[in-house]
């Protein structure tokens, strides 16, 4: 979907529920718990709350600023975490602070997770840092808080990113990433160093964590399915996806002169080579030994070149990490079916990805889950799914359509003979494509008697060469062609009448243009 077609930006606004502490009371102006005095009440709180941050203070006047930040954070994380303020200078609380072996000078912040002490808070004393910590206390230091990344622009939400593109036209390279991605972690230091060295030359390097809900729209707009995805912007506009060397020198050379650098796609590392992965990678020799003692295993049979596998891979990784953090029983495993074809044949793998469930090495049934949330939900309660519905007919197989279907072989030969052609480049799984399809069908039917015009479609998951040739970067992309010599983006509406009006207007304009050209000659 093109950025210019978005008329409204929907941002998810979380509406948290107010925390009702098990003990003590909540200040009417804050979500902070302040009235815990007894050790038994503190332990009871830790049993009922899984994510607790405590600020211990010894001098209210000296720690006034830290307490202010702490209280603001408490309001921001309601429903996500629990904030406790413990004034150890008060006589009734001195005993509790001593029992907990805390001696604040003047403050100490300690985090408790799942009923036990987890770690000392070691981030910046700011609302943003504290909120990030409470969202993921066991996670790595966010990139925007790492001093090494001080010269990288960090977009906290998609709205601020769009605002920046409108007002700052300097060349900018944006790395779209997720915190758990191993490849992203390895690239961040080089990306940060490049940002520092290029800053004085007027080039911008930026980052956006697209796992955050407030940045979800960026994933849809730029069709981001793998991480990191690095995109180059110039004059506030999308220019191209960066596919050069993933190191400081490669990034700097590209930014200084994008046109002179050969953009080559780096050799993709094998999935099993990712040392940060929580996925168990299986081989023919280790397949049975690895599974026989495991009570619950999900195995993803994949091919490295498979687009659907690439889209599922980050979700599978995310699910494995969450299962580890939340102690969800079971193992997520993967097997490269192109390398271990004998195993794939043994289990009748016909397409990719194929997901199969095993118990103690015994195959039980196939599973159709590809999103992290659905994978975790299944592993919590593994049940055989109901029989799948009959497969949906492809658009090309539908009988009641006048759309002409093009592919890598017939695209050029067909369009060279057509005065007016409107071509929809699509993917069968794309929701926007599905909603546009009936309107496109209706327009094709209305124009079927005019031999000068066709409405055509290309399945980019099958015929990706022609889609790449015509710079298709999102779905659906609709382009107008005239004898294959004239080409322009279609940015109109997506209703039947919009397509018809556009084609009729093109028919009125093109002959006139040809006549004027003939008279000049």
Per-domain residue ranges for the chain? 39-139, 144-262, 271-380, 399-508
Active site residue 433: yes
Active site residue 181: no
Is the backbone peptide bond immediately before 476 cis, with ω within 30 degrees of 0?
A: yes
Start-end of H helices in 362-430: 372-380, 411-415
Its pTM stands at: 0.43
User: Which fold does the domain 271-380 belong to in CATH?
Assistant: Glutaredoxin (3.40.30)
User: Which fold does the domain 399-508 belong to in CATH?
Assistant: Glutaredoxin (3.40.30)
Confidence category of residue 501, pLDDT binned at 50, 70, 90? very high
Residues 124-135: tens digit of each pLDDT: 888 888 988 998
Q: Is 26 helix (H, G, I), strand (E, B) or coil?
A: strand
Question: Of 184, 433, 460, 467, which one is the catalytic site residue?
Answer: 433
**Do 144-262 and 399-508 show the same overall fold?**
yes
Question: Of 88, 97, 181, 309, which one is the catalytic site residue?
Answer: 309
d(Cα 504, Cα 55) in Å, to the nearest integer? Answer: 69
User: Which fold does the domain 144-262 belong to in CATH?
Assistant: Glutaredoxin (3.40.30)
Active site residue 460: no
Most confident of 138-147, 293-302, 394-403: 293-302
Worst-scoring range by mean pLDDT, 70-74, 477-481, 516-520? 516-520
Residues 278-323: tens digit of each pLDDT: 899 999 888 998 899 899 999 999 998 888 898 899 999 999 999 9
303, 203, 215, 195: which is closest to 258 by C-alpha? 203
Q: What are the counts of helices (DSSP H) followed by strands (DSSP E) for the chain?
A: 16, 19
Question: Of 88, 430, 460, 467, which one is the catalytic site residue?
Answer: 430
Q: Is 396 helix (H, G, I), strand (E, B) or coil?
A: helix
Adjacent-strand bridge partners of 58: none
Active site residue 430: yes
**Class of 39-139 in CATH:** alpha beta
Mean pLDDT along residues 233-253: 91
């Amino acid at each position: 979907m093109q950025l210019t077609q978005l008329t409204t930006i929907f941002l998810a606004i979380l509406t948290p529920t107010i925390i009702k502490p098990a003990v003590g009371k909540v200040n009417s102006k804050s979500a902070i718990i302040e009235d815990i005095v007894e050790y038994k009440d503190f332990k009871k709180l830790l049993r009922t709350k899984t994510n607790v941050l405590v600020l211990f203070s010894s001098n209210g006047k000296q720690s006034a600023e830290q307490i202010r930040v702490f209280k603001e954070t408490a309001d921001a994380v309601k429903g996500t975490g629990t904030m406790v303020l413990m004034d150890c200078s008060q006589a009734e609380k001195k005993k509790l602070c001593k029992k907990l072996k805390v001696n604040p000078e003047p403050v100490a912040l300690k985090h408790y997770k799942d009923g036990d002490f987890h770690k000392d808070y070691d981030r910046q004393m700011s609302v943003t840092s504290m909120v990030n910590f409470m969202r993921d206390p066991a996670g790595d230091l966010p990139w925007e808080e790492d001093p090494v990344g001080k010269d990288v622009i960090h977009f906290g939400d998609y709205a601020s990113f769009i605002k920046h593109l409108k007002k700052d036209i300097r060349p900018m390279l944006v790395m779209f990433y997720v915190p758990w991605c191993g490849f992203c972690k390895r690239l961040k230091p080089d990306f940060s160093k490049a940002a520092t060295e290029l800053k004085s030359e007027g080039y911008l390097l930026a980052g956006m964590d697209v796992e955050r809900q407030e940045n979800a729209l960026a994933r849809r707009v730029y069709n981001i399915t793998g991480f990191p995805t690095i995109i180059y912007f110039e004059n506030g506009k999308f220019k191209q996806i960066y596919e050069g060397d993933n190191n400081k020198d490669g990034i700097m050379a590209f930014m200084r002169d994008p046109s002179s650098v050969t953009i080559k796609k780096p050799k993709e590392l094998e999935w099993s080579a990712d040392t940060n992965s929580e996925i168990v990678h299986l081989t023919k020799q280790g397949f049975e030994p690895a599974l026989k003692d495991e009570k619950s295993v999900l195995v993803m049979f994949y091919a490295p070149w498979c687009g659907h596998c690439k889209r599922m891979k980050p979700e599978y990784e995310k699910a494995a990490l969450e299962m580890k953090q939340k102690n969800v029983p079971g193992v997520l495993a993967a097997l490269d079916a192109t390398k271990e074809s004998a195993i794939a044949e043994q289990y009748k793998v016909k397409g990719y990805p194929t997901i199969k469930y095993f118990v103690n090495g015994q195959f039980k049934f196939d599973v159709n889950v590809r999103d992290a949330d659905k994978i975790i939900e299944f592993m919590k309660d593994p049940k055989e799914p109901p029989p799948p519905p009959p497969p949906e007919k492809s658009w090309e197989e539908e009988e009641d359509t006048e759309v002409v279907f093009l592919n890598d072989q017939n695209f050029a030969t067909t369009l060279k003979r057509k005065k007016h052609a409107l071509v929809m480049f699509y993917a069968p799984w794309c929701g926007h494509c599905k909603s546009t399809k009936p309107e496109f069908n209706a327009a094709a039917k209305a124009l079927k008697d005019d031999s000068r015009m066709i409405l055509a479609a290309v399945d980019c998951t099958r015929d990706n060469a022609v889609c790449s040739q015509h710079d298709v970067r999102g779905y659906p992309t609709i382009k107008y062609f005239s004898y294959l010599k004239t080409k322009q983006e279609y940015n109109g509406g997506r209703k039947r009448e919009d397509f018809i009006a556009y084609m009729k207007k093109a028919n009125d304009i093109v002959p006139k243009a040809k006549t004027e050209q003939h008279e000049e000659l």
